[in-house]
Chain A
Amino acid sequence: MSLIVISLIMLLAFALGMRLYIGILIAVLAYFLLFGSVPLVIAVQRVVGPTENTSLLAIPFFIMLGTLMSHTGIAERMLRLADLLVGRIRGGMGLANILLSTLMGGISASNLADAAMLSRMMVPEMERQGYDRAFASAVTAAGSLVTPIIPPGIALIIYALLADVSVGQMFMAGILPGLICAFLLMVATYITAVRRGYRPARQSWPTAKEAGSTLVATWPALLLIVAIIGGIRANVFTPTEAGAVAIVLVLIIGFVIYRQMRLADVGAALAETAKSTASIFLVIMASSALAWIFSLEQAGVGLSQFITGHTDSPFAFLIVVNVVLLIAGMFMEGTALMIVLVPLLMPTVRSLGIDPIHFGIVIIFNLSIGTLTPPVGTVMLLVCNITKVSVAAFTKQALLLYAALFVTLGLLTYIPQISLLLTR
């Protein structure tokens, strides 16, 4: 009863356009004031709690990394590599776009930052090569969905904390799903390119000399990806330390190797990161206080008993979760949704014998699809805003790409091995 009341209060605050973190805080405070038997100061203590967790520190580090990257000139060089690999194929520029997202996803943690950078960089170029602008925007936005599940990803870090699994394992689990998603998006782009007669980006396959010079230009960036993922996998450092070390590596690449970075860029990146960190963390902190209330009321256990009373099939459960989250993700911000729902669903996940890592990949991918669908798809709105394309045109052009994303979601849901293979 109390949970329904505070949830309604929170949804009302959201509907009125209040800041998400304040809406959640109102719900938390309302619980303590109306129903709680615990002193109010505990509410604040619960809100502060998550900042004591070192693995969440990886979030500001990887945000900083993504922000710095747009000043290093890494993206332009990575594009040459992507073009080299797939440019000869029909729709080469679209394919290269997705491949670039995948490569950048291996360094960056935020799909919003990636989508912003790539839509400025790729959409004008694709339009020049004869692509429809709305389609180019859709490809760019869809490509950036690979970022949250390919390590490092902010959602992977938050989920690891919620489900009590290691960040390193979540990172490993995301690699294959990210590659499969990228591949299917490229298939969808290729089909569209053939239908519409979009030409390849280049006339011939690259010569050995060309391949060599591109590798020379891109090795520092490729090394960075290997250092981040390899270093975590080999337990050389924790994901948080990997983020901090990677920042220094990017600074070296930017200042010493590519020589494109200026000191002012670093200052701007620090300021930008501090603000983004604040806005993400306030949602994380407020939501975890709310999640604590849900667990205090034993909501998860109750839900688990209710669900297992109706079905004992993990797949039936996953279908329901997928459908509910796809709908909820259309209207709600993904991080907050995940922080409240994961602790709530965890008892059911465990009692149905679903691997929490597999479950995490499914819901993270599911919620990231929500960033691409109207009405509140954050990535979609951002890209449309940058490329000046209407949401209607975007959605129409994105249909085949949506299909690719849904197929990926289906594969990830029903083949747990895709997520679990590399974690072993």
Chain B
Amino acid sequence: MKRLSSTAVWIASILLAVLIVLFNAAVLMRYVFHQPIHFTEELSALLLIWIVMVGAIAAEYENQHLSITVLTDLMRERPRQMLGLVTDILSVVVLLFVAWLGWRLANTVQFKITSILRISWFWIDLAVPVGAAGAAVIMAGRAACTFKRLRMRDAG
């Protein structure tokens, strides 16, 4: 899990750095060399979706996603852990479903090509199944941990 998350952070960080360089290059080319870069918009859309989806895996690992915990914080520890287990499993199901839909979408649009760089949309939409499946793996791992902890307490 840790390795998956840190690999995800690495990839997302590099893509983000590329994005920052790209936009600075765009400004520089426009003002200094009077030769605007035409593909900025296309490339940035490709980079952004990958940053978000791959970053989501790491954010899931470090529990950085937003949620409202006012109500669950009121519960006792054991029922709260059990509820957490149920909602985590449900989330895994939702994420895997989204991953499958994303895969289907990527396949549907594979012959659609962006206008300037001529990249297949497959590579853009592929980020969805990759990120959703990765986040699902992290969540499933956490659910397994919670389950083990709950069972150990029952045994002990």
User: Are A241 and B9 also in contact (CB < 8 A) when A19-B67, A43-B101 are?
Assistant: no
Segment of A50-58, A95-103, A162-170 engaged in the interface with chain B: A50-58
CA gap between A271 and B13 in the complex, in Å: 5
User: Are A278 and B53 also in contact (CB < 8 A) when A17-B67, A60-B16 are?
Assistant: yes
The reply on A5 being an interface residue by CB < 8 A is no
Separation in Å of the B128 CB from the closest CB of chain A?
Answer: 6
Inter-subunit contact A54/B27 (CB<8 Å): no
User: Are A44 and B102 also in contact (CB < 8 A) when A17-B71, A20-B67 are?
Assistant: yes
The reply on B108 being an interface residue by CB < 8 A is yes
Q: Which residues of chain B have C-beta atoms less than 8 A from A54's C-beta? A: 40-41, 44-45
The reply on B140 being an interface residue by CB < 8 A is no
Dominant secondary structure at the B interface: helix
Partner of A17, one of B22, B72, B94, B95: B72
The residue on A at minimum CB distance from B127 is A48
Segment of A133-141, A142-150, A206-214, A281-289 engaged in the interface with chain B: A281-289
Inter-subunit contact A278/B101 (CB<8 Å): no
Q: Mark A205-238, 1 if CB is under 8 A from B, else 0.
A: 0000000000000000000000000000000010
Q: Which residues of chain B have C-beta atoms less than 8 A from A17's C-beta? A: 67-69, 71-72, 83-84, 87
Inter-subunit contact B66/A51 (CB<8 Å): no
Separation in Å of the B64 CB from the closest CB of chain A?
Answer: 5
CA gap between A44 and B125 in the complex, in Å: 9
Inter-subunit contact B128/A376 (CB<8 Å): no
The reply on A267 being an interface residue by CB < 8 A is yes
Inter-subunit contact B45/A51 (CB<8 Å): yes
Q: How many residues of A contact B (CB 8 A)?
A: 55
Partner of A275, one of B48, B64, B66, B70: B64
Contact residues, A272-295 vs B (CB, 8 A): 273-279, 281-283, 285
Inter-subunit contact A18/B90 (CB<8 Å): yes
User: Are A282 and B87 also in contact (CB < 8 A) when A244-B24, A245-B24 are?
Assistant: no
The 6 closest A-B pairs by CB, nearest first: A278-B55, A244-B23, A274-B12, A17-B72, A270-B13, A274-B55
B-binding residues in A (CB < 8 A): 13-22, 25-26, 29, 40-41, 43-45, 47-48, 51-52, 54, 56-57, 60-61, 64, 237, 240-241, 243-245, 247-248, 267, 270-271, 273-279, 281-283, 285, 331-333, 375-376
- 26 interchain pairs, CB-CB under 8 A: A15-B68, A15-B71, A16-B83, A17-B67, A18-B87, A19-B65, A19-B91, A21-B65, A22-B91, A25-B98, A29-B98, A41-B108, A44-B105, A44-B125, A48-B128, A52-B45, A61-B20, A244-B19, A270-B17, A271-B9, A274-B55, A275-B64, A278-B58, A281-B52, A331-B68, A331-B70
